[in-house]
A and B are shown apart, each in its own frame.
With several copies, the nearest count.
Chain A
Amino acid sequence: MEKKRKKALVKGNEAVAMGAIEAGCRFYFGYPITPQNEIPEYMSAHLPEVGGTFIQAESEIASINMLLGACSTGARAMTSSSSPGISLKQEGLSYMAGSEIPGVVVNMSRSGPGLGGISPSQGDYFQATRGGGHGDYRVLVLAPDSVQECYDLTMLAFDMSDKYTNPVLVLGDAMLGQMKEPLEFKKYQPKKFEKKWALTGAKGRKAQFLKSLYLDDGELTVHNWNLFAKYKRMKEDIRYEALFLDEARLVVVAFGSMARVLKSSVKMAQDEGLKVGLIRPITLFPYPAEFIRETSLQVKNFLAMELNTGQMVEDVRLSVEPGTQVDFFGLPPGSLPAPDVFLKEIKKVYPE
């Protein structure tokens, strides 16, 4: 069944797990929560097959701290959860960023606030892109919009994480986690990362440590600027997808599941002769601000669309050239997003 090997119909969650294992992830720590349970379930079944370890932790907090521990040794490891569970990981994330420890964290977000519901949502955008934890740190955020990207971007997440010795967040949602699509397997192309900082026991070298505590006068200031410089360097890995930008008179900006649904809406608009383009940021942090700015030199009307009451729209506003009109349409979670609904909204702001 060669065919089966190259392609399979799987959920986004499974694709994340598959991508992780393919990228050399050998340790997974997690705690069940809908709608991402297929990730731990897949990991529990398949990690042992490759000599890896799966732990169902007692909580999300334990999970992120096990991740911190495993990754401090230079191992590739992952944790995943969904919104409430990700909130609980914020302290740990802040520690990892502050200690410059890599690690991949997946948020298949659900609807909030609070217990909320299990429908698709983009209410965690701020938390993801601006560091929901304390202090001035960032994590690189990758936002897939298909099952294939769940796989590809998870592999990428491990590389980015090692490249920047910083946690990387894969931000999907209930829709991406639960939907199935044919997935084409790809061989991971291993990159070499020297991990001199890894804790492996002080054999044949000096003892070393990983920490985020800086108490000497001015030391932490320097540390924060160093981190800041690193976050700036991440700009070289900005990714986005652009559709129908030529001749566009209105550019819709959206990410993840919302962008996926909007691909239909924008197509419908094009079919009706409306010049509507789409920019889909794939890295949410760093944000493709420069590309949006350049686009806004040509197109004066932007529409940010999100499954929330308005978060990413701030990044669009911060990106565009002065004088650009940026509208917003939000559909907070609780119902499934559908292309015809959005087409209507697009028409409302389409410039005459």
Chain B
Amino acid sequence: MYFDLIIAGFGGQGVMFIGNLLAHAAMLEDRKVTYMPVYGVEMRGGTANCTIVVSDEDIGSPNITNPIVSIVMNKPSLVKFGPRVKEDGLLLVNSSLIKPDEVEVKGPEIMMVPSIELAAEAGNDRLANMIFLGVLLGKTEVVSLETLKQALIETSGSTNEELLAINTRAIERGAAFGRTGS
């Protein structure tokens, strides 16, 4: 099993949070995993991205030029990372901020995800990032939903039921969208 992924967006969109969560989950499933964050100079704002590699074997490079999957949460990230996704890969685009005609990438499967709207549906429009994580789970089998929940508990260090519930709802909403496209 080998999987890699780049997640990119504005600082503040929670890009690093879901990247870290996914990596943590992969670890819980006893896989090898690397998580590599890249920040801009600004503390907030600016762009941020992270690369996750999951594998059953020792991982060489934690940095990847052409990922299998990429999640782009804003326009600059689409421009930078969209074209780098593998031909047979998957590009998840934040259609809440990017219009379909702005996506000029050819090759990979492209899925437009109205993340903010879906997050609002799930109960909190700030959880757009969790929606994407859900979509990823719906489209691939990199980790299980259960492990992801466990990872959420462990990384947040809290067992706040409500928080957990709302995040889970967002992930599940995303997963459903990932599976069905709506």
Q: Are A and B direct contacts in the complex by CB distance below 8 Å? A: yes
| Interfacial residues, chain A to chain B (CB-CB below 8 A) | 1, 3-4, 7, 9, 118, 175, 178-182, 215, 260-267, 336-341
Q: Are B23 and A175 in contact (CB under 8 A)?
A: no
Given A4-B154, A9-B23, A336-B38, decide whether A260 and B60 contact each other with a Cβ distance below 8 A.
yes
Q: Which of A7, A179, A263 has the most CB of B within 10 A?
A: A179
Chain B residues with Cβ under 8 A from A263's Cβ?
58, 60-61
Q: Say yes or no: B35 contacts A181, CB within 8 Å.
A: yes
B64 within 8 A of partner (CB): yes
With an 8 A cutoff between CB atoms, is B96 at the interface? no
B57 nearest in chain A by CB position: A267
B23 contacts which of A178, A180, A340 (Cβ < 8 Å)?
Answer: A180
Residues of A within 8 A of B41 (CB): 118, 215
Contact partners of A118 in chain B: CB under 8 A:
41
The 6 closest A-B pairs by CB, nearest first: A264-B60, A263-B60, A264-B61, A261-B61, A180-B35, A338-B65
Binds A, one of B26-34, B99-107, B110-118: B26-34
A9 touching B20, Cβ below 8 Å: yes
List of A residues within 8 angstroms of B35 by Cβ: 9, 179-181
- List of B residues within 8 angstroms of A182 by Cβ: 27, 32-33
Interface pair B62/A7, CB less than 8 Å apart: no
Interchain Cβ contacts under 8 Å between A and B, 26 examples: A1-B154, A4-B154, A7-B27, A9-B24, A9-B27, A118-B41, A175-B63, A179-B35, A179-B62, A180-B20, A180-B35, A180-B37, A181-B62, A182-B27, A260-B62, A261-B60, A261-B63, A262-B61, A263-B58, A264-B61, A267-B60, A337-B63, A338-B61, A338-B63, A339-B61, A340-B66
Partner of B36, one of A1, A3, A178, A266: A178
Which of chain B's residues 80-101 have a Cβ closer than 8 Å to chain A? none
**When chains A and B are docked, how far (Å) is the Cα of A284 from the Cα of B32?**
27
With A261-B60, A262-B60: A179-B36 Cβ-Cβ less than 8 Å: yes
Q: A178-B37, A179-B34, A266-B60 are in contact. List 14 more A-B contacts (CB 8 A).
A: A178-B36, A180-B35, A180-B36, A180-B37, A181-B33, A181-B35, A181-B59, A215-B41, A260-B60, A260-B62, A262-B60, A336-B38, A337-B61, A337-B63
When distances are taken between beta carbons in the complex, the residues of chain B under 8 Å from A179 are: 34-37, 62
Q: Which of A118, A263, A264, A265 counts the most chain B CB atoms within 10 A? A: A264
A262 vs B61: C-alpha distance when bound (angstroms): 7
- State in angstroms the CA–CA spacing of A336 and B62 once bound together: 10
Q: Which residues of chain B are within 8 angstroms of A339 by Cβ–Cβ distance?
A: 60-61, 63-65
Given A7-B27, A180-B34, A215-B41, check contact A336 B63 (CB 8 Å): yes
Give CA–CA (A118, B46) in the complex, Å: 15
* Minimal Cβ-Cβ distance residue in A for B41: A215
A340 touches B27 (CB 8 A): no
Within 8 A of A (CB), among B96-147: none
Q: Assuming A7-B27, A9-B33, A179-B36, is B20 touching A260 (CB within 8 A)?
A: no
